Structure 1
Amino acid sequence: METVLGAEESVQDIDADSLDVRVKQIRYEGKGINSYEFTSVSGGKLPPFEAGAHIDVHLKNGVIRQYSLCNSSADRDRYVIAVLKDENGRGGSRAVHEGLCAGDIVTISKPRNHFALTRDAAKVILIAGGIGVTPLKAMTHELEDRGIDFEMHYCARSAEAAAFGKEFEVLRREGKLYYHFDDGNASNQLDIKKLLSHPQDRTHVYYCGPAGFMAACAAAASHWPKGTVHCEHFKAPEQAKRSPSTSVQTGGCEVTISSTGQVVQVRPEQTLADALNEAGVTVATSCCAGLCATCKVRYLEGEVEHNDFILSDDERREYLTTCVSRPVSKTLVLDL
């Protein structure tokens, strides 16, 4: 779809890899959850996005974290993210909650989308676990705009721990949103297996949430037709942290940069990203868990063990994520 820029839009901002935005508003959305509204510093329109997209947020402590956009993609005046403060996390959510204030200028990336809505669905089933509701909330806006039938199931510990209560009330009254509050009681949990027991013609499933929830959804949807089930991890499953496979050469690997012929030695304990950056070949990284594709690079020769959770099977024939992919062959040629 062609995008026509209005006079008030900044071509420089839209073409740049990143842009500065202002924190216009911070709102309490639920227990431990704040939403953050970003607007253009210049007052113009922001780059377009589609539901399911995320942005990289550059935080004051130097880390970069990805957060899903949860507002309507038709709203070009703002981006909205929601962040759950995780005391046991890697520090990103604490840096957001404790470090961002209304009026601050923050650097973000342009939106990227690896979790887009299909265009051929007659109905969509959305299943959210906890803060995994954020990309699915954006999908409710887009599905309503497109007139696509949908139902959303929102699983949370309690009503107090659920976000966007006032915004979601309309969907709840219309019978499009169903809450499932377990309060620590397994008998109150959504029966995902029952919900997904019978695949429906031209129906697609989208789910996002914590690790156990993701595993339950994957198991319940395993019999659905290929291409009808879609998910996004906001935290890498445990297997992403496993030790290097025995298939990885014990002597390391030589990586050749196709544009210059430079050869980079990758030690067995190193990631490709670390080895490349150590050798002066800059590769941007962000999540370092195979979740965001910031470090996606095309490879021309060699065999790769893909440990990401973002690339499709077709993409893996040409691309790898340098943060978690491991070379299996002794040599690898990168299109850099």
Structure 2
Amino acid sequence: MLKLRVRSITHEAEGILSYELVDPSGRGLPRFEAGAHIDVRIPGGLSRRYSLCNPPTDTDCYRIAVLNAPDGRGGSRAMHEKVRAGDWIEVSEPHNFFPLAANAKHSVLLAGGIGITPILAMMEDLEAQGRSWELHYCTRDASRTAFLRRFASATADPRVTIHHDEGDPSKGLNIAGLLSQHEEGEHVYFCGPTGFMAAVQAAAEHWPREAVHFEYFGAEPPKASVAGQGAHASELHLSRSDRVVPIEAGQTILDALRAAGVECESSCEAGMCGACKATYSAGTPEHNDYVLSDDERRNQVLVCCARVSKGPVVLEL
């Protein structure tokens, strides 16, 4: 973990603050690529994932933006209420599960609300590389549109369109029309709240799978069918380490592994990023993620949110 200082906090829009994090000794920070995120340890013992929204050419700071979600899981509220300029904060080195495709001839960037954070870094990186792109940024109104100062010059660019729907989706971006046709070499990237993500995914269903890139940001974790229905107490068989781990009906696979002292990489712990993906060869997991396709779910599982529907589940761990 890196121990950084909060150099500044900026009001970006209604309910959105950005935080500039620097090394207290003035040293450069580990480099990152557009789309990357860091895990932030928040006061109160929470850990949350936030995308880096500054250009990847910046090496002296990390900048994140946080939407205060009163009905969320507590991380954003703690950031807004407890973190102040001058504070020390622990963060991970950057990880990237949402990179730009090196072979894209044209990139369509779509952002909904706070989902602009990784998309903004992508826009600036593509521009710096002289690559083809366009950006559509969807918000409710101007007061809730983050980074307006950074967009001040970009809004005159015909490649940038900001859409305000005033709470009525019919007044916003025509996503289905925008993505109705796919040109060879064209890629789409999107990030935002659940409804926005579902609309873009539906509109891009006919696009080649390798040309569609997304990251859930600030969405609620998937609702598991636990409540005594889909998941059952069973066992996890770890084929590589030759271990048997019990799992209760209410436990995620990750929780069961941790209780048994088994190390397993994880990040968002909400089925959104794919960091905890594991391969299984037997049993039936209860999948509760946003990431895996139906084909991938036949032998892969995100253990952070999955439970056991029919066991034992054999994991290659």
- TM-score, structure 2 length as denominator? 0.90
User: Residue 258 of structure 2 aligns to a residue in which SS?
Assistant: helix
- Matches of 1:170 and 1:320 in 2, distance apart? 44
Match of 1:54 in 2: 37
Alignment partner for residue 112 of structure 2, among 112, 129, 141?
129
Alignment RMSD, CA only? 2.6
Map Cα deviations across residues 304-334 of structure 1 (whole Å, 9 max, x no partner). 4433224577876765322212345523344
Who is 2:304 aligned against? 323
CA distance in 1, matches of 2:35, 2:263: 28
1:228 equivalenced with 2:211 (yes/no): yes
2:125 & 2:28 partners in 1: Cα distance?
19
Contact 2:176 2:203 in 1 (8 A): yes
What 5-or-longer segments of structure 1 have no aligned partner? 1-17
- Secondary structure of 2:210's counterpart equals coil
Residue from 49, 52, 55 that aligns with 1:69: 52
2:159 is aligned to 176
Aligned to 1:243: 225
Confirm whether residue 99 of structure 1 aligns to residue 66 of structure 2: no
Match of 1:273 among 254, 276, 295: 254
Are the equivalent residues in 1 in contact too, given 2:231–2:286 (CA < 8 A)?
no
Match of 1:5 in 2: none
Question: Partners of 1:295 and 1:118 in 2: how far apart?
Answer: 22
The residue that corresponds to 1:146 in the other structure is 129
Tell me how far apart the structure 2 counterparts of residues 23 and 48 of structure 1 sit (CA, whole Å).
Answer: 18
Deviation at 1:272, TM superposition (A): 1.2
Partner Cα distance (1:223, 1:261) in 2: 43
Residues 270-305 of structure 1, C-alpha deviations (whole Å, 9 max, x = no match): 211222222333446553321234444454655544
Looking at structure 1, the residues matched to 218 and 66 of structure 2 have their Cα atoms a distance apart, in angstroms, of: 13
Q: Provide, for residues 211-248 of structure 1, a one-character-per-residue CA deviation record: whole Å limited to 9, x for no partner.
A: 1111111122222222212111124567x213159996
Percent identical among aligned pairs is 46
**More strand as a share of residues:** 2
Are positions 1:159 and 2:142 aligned together?
Answer: yes
**Do 2:193 and 2:217's aligned partners in 1 also have CA atoms closer than 8 Å?**
yes
| 2:80 aligned partner, one-letter code | H
2-side partners of 1:299 and 1:19: how far apart?
Answer: 33
2: CA distance between counterparts of 1:23 and 1:296? 32
2:287 match = 306
Correspondence for 1:79 among 62, 71, 76: 62
| SS of aligned partner of 2:56 | coil
313 and 21 in structure 1: CA distance in 2 versus 1, 3 angstrom threshold? farther
User: Is the Cα contact below 8 Å between 2:236 and 2:244 reproduced in 1?
Assistant: yes
Once the two structures are TM-superposed, the CA of residue 174 in structure 1 deviates from its matched residue by 2.1
Distance 2:210 2:76 in 1: 32
Tell me, in whole angstroms, the C-alpha distance in 1 between the residues paired with 2:267 and 2:210: 28
| Counterpart contact for 1:249–1:330, Cα < 8 Å | no
Whole-Å separation in 2 of the counterparts to 1:156 and 1:19: 33
Name the structure 1 match of 2:11. Answer: 28
1:67 Cα deviation (Å)? 0.6
Specify which of 202, 210, 225 is matched with residue 219 of structure 1. 202
For the residue of structure 1 that corresponds to 2:150, the secondary structure is helix
8 Å CA contact 2:21, 2:62 repeated in 1:
yes
Tell me the alpha carbon deviations over residues 144-194 of structure 1, each in whole angstroms, 9 at most, x when there is no partner.
122111111111111111011111122211222111112234442111111
Is residue 236–residue 309 contact of structure 1 (8 Å, CA) maintained in 2?
Answer: no
CA deviation after TM superposition for structure 1 residue 142, in Å: 1.1
How many residues get paired?
317
CA distance in 1, matches of 2:299, 2:92: 24
Kept in 1: contact 2:225–2:231 (CA 8 A)? no
Q: Which string of whole-angstrom CA distances, capped at 9 and with x for unpartnered residues, describes residues 4-31 of structure 1?
A: xxxxxxxxxxxxxx21111111111111
Residue 262 (structure 1) shift: 3.2
Out of 74, 98, 103, which is 1:115 matched to?
98
Q: In structure 2, what is the equivalent of residue 290 of structure 1? A: 271
Please report how far the alpha carbon of residue 94 of structure 1 lies from its aligned counterpart in structure 2 after TM superposition: 0.8
Report the more deviating stretch, 72-81 or 168-177. 168-177
**Amino acid aligned to 2:175:** I
